[in-house]
């Protein structure tokens, strides 16, 4: 069962956006953290390249 936030993105313009999650390593402690962002489908490669 989808949450309301996810379900509301599926109608209309919401289908042109994707939630991207990437794992980033901290230079200070060496621990991993996750960076999340909702980006337009055309900018997915830009999100993962930075």
Domain tally, the chain = 1
Phi, psi of 17 (to 5 degrees): -120, 150
* Residue 9 maps to a domain: no
pLDDT at 10: 60
Percent of the chain with pLDDT over 90: 62
Which of left, alpha, beta for 22 (phi over 0: left; psi -120 to 50: alpha)? beta
For the chain, the residue count is 50
* Residue 1 maps to a domain: no
* Residue 43 maps to a domain: yes
Angle at 18 between CA 17 and CA 20, to 5 degrees: 145
* Residue 20 maps to a domain: yes
Name the residue with higher pLDDT: 2 or 36. Answer: 36
Residue 30 clears pLDDT 80, i.e. is over it: yes
Give the pLDDT band of residue 5 (cuts 50, 70, 90).
low
* Residue 28 maps to a domain: yes
Q: Determine the Cα–Cα distance for residues 45 and 50; give it in Å rounded to an integer.
A: 9
């Amino acid at each position: 069962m989808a949450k309301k936030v996810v379900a509301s993105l599926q109608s209309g313009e919401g289908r042109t956006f994707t939630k991207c999650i990437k794992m980033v390593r901290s230079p200070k402690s060496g621990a991993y953290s996750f960076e999340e962002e909702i980006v337009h489908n055309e900018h997915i490669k830009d999100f993962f390249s930075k």
